[in-house]
Amino acid sequence: MLAVHFDCPGGPENLYVKEVLKPEPGEGEVLVKVVASALNRADLLQRRGKYPPPQGASEILGLEAAGMVAAFGGACEGRWRLGAPVMALLSGGGHAQFVAVPEGHLMPVPADMTFVQAAAIPEAWLTAFQLLHFVGKVEEGETVLIHAGASGVGVAAIQLVRLAKAIPIVTAGTQEKLEATANLGAAAGFNYKTEDFSEKVLAFTQGAGVDIILDCVGGSYWEKNLNCLKTDGRWIIYGLLGGGDVHGDFLARLLAKRASIHTSLLRSRDKEASLGITSETLFFRQYKERLVRAFTRTVLPHLRGAAGAGLRPLVHSVYPLHRIAEAHAAMEENRNIGKIVIEMPP
């Protein structure tokens, strides 16, 4: 099969497509013929040598995919039929023509949705769903500040906050991105490049602050985040685009607000041992399976491929596999509103 490859860490120019062995589905796994995958920040970090895949996971980039069931490994429970359209949450391997997936990590593609649209769902939407419900325990009427509101996770989080009958507000770096987030349901948006978002958040909440912050930036935002976090608020960190260093009276100010910090990395919940299935492997697989089941039950019925009523993935651009380097460059330039999708060759 064809797959994305790089010989050494570096820039997008290091990426190329080569022939590799097609994976064989193991115990409890399903082989999926990939039609489309999507790009995530984790792929850029892995390409630079800063985010290796979990032990036992595929070295091939790609954390999500949509396609058709092609074969079954042993001990599958018969949830899927050959040729069924599915989308999958992956720990790696999505930027290839085939990928082996634990059976419980598959979801059906909604009937009115294309594979390109479906490929924009698993990683971003399951991440946002996990942050809001499994970690943040969002409640009706709460206010949620979403950094990088026009990113894949941000686009999903805005709509999921609305579905939970809570209030989403966002930060983004351009007026175009803020307008896009408003169209998706953001109650307010602030340009972090031209204004102090913490002051704007406090003004919007009439001085109360926000209940939850979804933060993929980290260190460089700590003071502003604490300024606008409500007493007893939850600050959820799932990325460090702004670095991990914190200086000053961070702990004293955190304590004064009785605030809690949660951290989350969804990919590392798919740890594999080098020899067989261990109890740790089973625990992490079960966590993701619980997440996929909860999402399938509560969110998937609301997702639609066509514009209009319901939730929808937002696809910014589509690149064929052989233009993978261009796709990486586009994401590094922070041009996308929503997801960048990669189509496999037929």
Q: DSSP labels for 321-335?
A: GGGHHHHHHHHHTT-
Banded pLDDT at 346 (limits 50, 70, 90): confident
* pLDDT tens-digit readout, 152-163: 999 999 999 999
Mean pLDDT computed over 75-80: 91
3-class DSSP state for residue 294?
helix
Q: What is the DSSP letter of 48?
A: T
- Helix boundaries (H) for the chain: 41-47, 115-119, 122-129, 152-163, 175-184, 197-204, 222-228, 250-256, 279-298, 324-332
143 and 196 together in one domain: yes
148 and 249 together in one domain: yes
* pLDDT tens-digit readout, 156-188: 999 999 999 999 999 999 999 999 999 999 999
143 and 256 together in one domain: yes
Give residue 66's identity as a one-letter amino acid code: A
Please report, for the domain that includes residue 21, its CATH number. Answer: 3.90.180.10
* pLDDT tens-digit readout, 8-54: 999 999 999 999 999 999 999 999 999 999 999 999 999 999 999 88
88 and 155 together in one domain: no
Q: Give me 27's structure tokens.
A: 């115990």
| Position 208 in a domain | yes
pTM for the predicted model, two decimal places: 0.91
19 and 97 together in one domain: yes
The boundaries of the domain holding residue 330 are 2-122+275-343
Q: Which sign, positive or negative, has the C-alpha torsion 273, 275, 276, 277?
A: negative
Q: How far apart are CA 4 and CA 232, in angstroms?
A: 45
Looking at the 3D structure of the chain, how many domains does it have? 2
Residue 237 β-bridge partners? 215, 263
| Position 131 in a domain | no
| Position 269 in a domain | no
Contact 325, 319 (CB under 8 A): no
181 and 110 together in one domain: no
Cα radius of gyration rounded to whole Å, the chain = 20
249 and 286 together in one domain: no
| Position 60 in a domain | yes
Tell me the CA distances in angstroms from 272 to 5, 127, 173, one per residue in order: 22, 20, 38
110 and 141 together in one domain: no
Q: What is the DSSP letter of 52?
A: P
Place of tokens 């039929």: 81
Largest CA distance in the chain: 58
Q: Give me 339's structure tokens.
A: 């997801």
Q: How far apart are CA 64 and CA 95, in angstroms?
A: 9
Q: For residue 49, how many other CB atoms are within 10 A of its CB? A: 11
Per-residue model confidence (pLDDT) at position 275: 36
* pLDDT tens-digit readout, 253-269: 888 899 899 988 776 66
Residue 289 has pLDDT above 60, yes or no: yes
| Position 19 in a domain | yes
Report DSSP letters for 141-184, one per residue.
T-EEEESSTTSHHHHHHHHHHHHTT-EEEEEESSHHHHHHHHHH
Q: Give me 137's structure tokens.
A: 């325990």
Q: Give me 113's structure tokens.
A: 């949705």
